[in-house]
Structure 1
């Protein structure tokens, strides 16, 4: 069964280039292209892709607002595209529901891999750019924001010790297989721990779990 993808970027060459790379894969089908956020949201609702690639900076409705609407109105998963390795809007994009980030100069193999990973329900935590950006924006957010209504300890209180350790390892970028090796358990058991963490903390996916780990101080940026 093919992975259905939509590509949204205001630069036609970038948009068509990504589409050509993805279309060349036997398990991926590009069902729509869009030049701005409004077109992207309409394309997702019309064609029902599994994954949409969204440029962060587009005219009219930007990628962040488009991501927010896509995630609120569909089950389509979002990968944000950016030309920058540090973008001030990353935090908002993640909370809008984005499952990860790719730089526009991404290698073709990494692009294809990212689409497959996100379509399978996972998130892009492995690339160093994602971990660095998450740490940076969360650190800034914690510094600038008012004191939270719920303390970090209260927020994590629902987790068992093993679930809390799972969250810590997720935030450090470990895969399920690596966490399983660390715990000396099966990957199935780790998947259960991850599912419990997301459910108990009310999180959409692993990317938001990483944000939570930094916000609560479970993992310290740069540590």
Structure 2
């Protein structure tokens, strides 16, 4: 795989035969961290669900509804992270899978519509600092509001990864791998079953979805493996 620079496609650094792309919230974790913050620290589940319905029915872009959710949270970012550490659980099979993938030279790339500081903090808490550092994470960022620190009340805001309607079009990260010449291209896997995951999954060879969600994504005509946990 020498014709493509690992600096351009970091997951190729170890010349893997397989790459595992995965969503974070509700896939690596059992709960969605952004939903948890909105429901408990922001404007609550009713308005969050209304925003979700608006997105599903095409009345709003995901990025606008998601920003509104997060803007309703006034809690300083460091306090948000502390609360999430106590309330968000790792999928029971992920830690074992993480170590198996590492031993078998299968890079795991986290593609998330969430925010990197929160994701890294949760992974460090769940896997350990060094293990979390080894994971490539492609997601949105956090920035301070004018005149404030992210750890002030009403001090932080999301910074989207790109200009797409999702705020982070995950397929853009996978596509360069998918378009590699056949002799250089690893087998690509994807785990995730949210609305923002479908376009990303279409760039890969096999989609893993948690039990109960396969019917929701079958219309995408993808090769799908139903999994009860990260071990399957």
Q: Same fold (TM over 0.5)?
A: no
Larger helix proportion of the pair: 1
Q: TM-score when scaled to structure 1?
A: 0.30
Larger strand proportion of the pair: 2
Q: TM-score when scaled to structure 2?
A: 0.29
